[in-house]
Amino acid sequence: MPTSNLCFNLVTLDGKRDTVRWLIKALEVSGRQRGIGKGGISYEIHGIEMEEAPGSGVLRHVGLGRLPDFPSEAVPPDFSGGKILLRIETPLRFKYRGKLLGPEQFHLGILLTMLVQRARGLDHWLGTSIGAWAPPLDSPESFIPMARGHFRWVDVERISSRQRRRMHLGGVMGRLLIDAASIDSWWPLLWLGQWLHIGKQTSMGLGQYRLVTASGTAEAADG
């Protein structure tokens, strides 16, 4: 039977080696006993690479048994101003005022609102302190003139094994050019949000964005 390699990224939020060790163990056991996909295709882990610091893009190979110490806290890079390009890379689904958000309603204030909700949710369920990174957000609409964006609606499908049917999970994708001076106090949380994902179905990979400075320097590794 032909074989192939599958690479994927895994993000943890508590910074503990034990958490990652148990996740790796679970993947190893699942590969032997249950497999992956509809047919239960078996697999085995051949290697692990870890990023030396969040957003650095510098990877190092580590063994399956012994994991190195992790950085105690994510530290946003210094950014003195200019323009930031925010790229929404997977469909972003979000209900605002009771309705599913479309590309014509999307703006920076909505994104920051989603980011605060995501941070507070993680604080509540996982005991993190990400919400402390967020300054007060009085009015999402106040951020409308501070950014220019181009958005579109993108439909994706997934097959639900539980419901035994195809599910449509469309959302907003596109790009947003932000004046950095207007979001100076938001920069740490906005930077961290690249790994948190925002909106609905984040556990399925939706709601991911990446930041790039106007000079072309990536503030986070392109996935």
| Predicted structure pTM score | 0.80
Q: Compute the 3-state secondary structure of the chain and give helix, strand, coil in percent, each to the nearest 5.
A: 30, 25, 45
> Which single residue is written with the structure tokens 């509540």?
124
- Domains along the chain with CATH numbers: 1-75 (no CATH), 83-213 (3.30.70.1900)
C-alpha pair distances (Å), 156 with each of 120, 153, 165, 180: 27, 10, 14, 32
Is residue 110 classed exposed, middle or buried when 0-12, 13-18 and 19+ CB atoms within 10 A define those classes? buried
- Give the residue among 145, 165, 148, 166 at the shortest CA–CA distance from 157: 166
DSSP-derived letter for residue 193 is H
C-alpha pair distances (Å), 10 with each of 39, 75, 105, 196, 207: 23, 19, 32, 11, 16
Q: Which DSSP string corresponds to 93-158?
A: --EETTEE--TTT--HHHHHHHHHHHHHHHHHHH---GGGGPPP-S-GGGGGGGEEEEEEEE--EE
What is residue 141's predicted lDDT score, i.e. its pLDDT?
Answer: 76
Paired residues of 83 in beta bridges: 179
pLDDT in 10s for each residue of the chain, 223 residues = 567 787 878 887 776 777 778 888 888 888 888 888 777 888 888 888 888 777 777 887 877 666 666 665 677 877 767 889 999 999 999 987 788 889 998 989 999 999 999 999 999 888 888 888 888 877 777 777 777 789 999 998 776 666 667 777 889 999 999 988 888 889 999 999 999 999 998 988 899 999 987 654 443 333 3
Residues written for the chain = 223
What is residue 174's predicted lDDT score, i.e. its pLDDT?
Answer: 95
Residues 6+ apart with CB under 8 A from 177: 83, 84, 85, 86, 147, 148, 149
Cβ atoms of 48 and 54 within 8 Å: the answer is no
**Which residue type does 101 have?**
L
What is residue 220's predicted lDDT score, i.e. its pLDDT?
Answer: 35
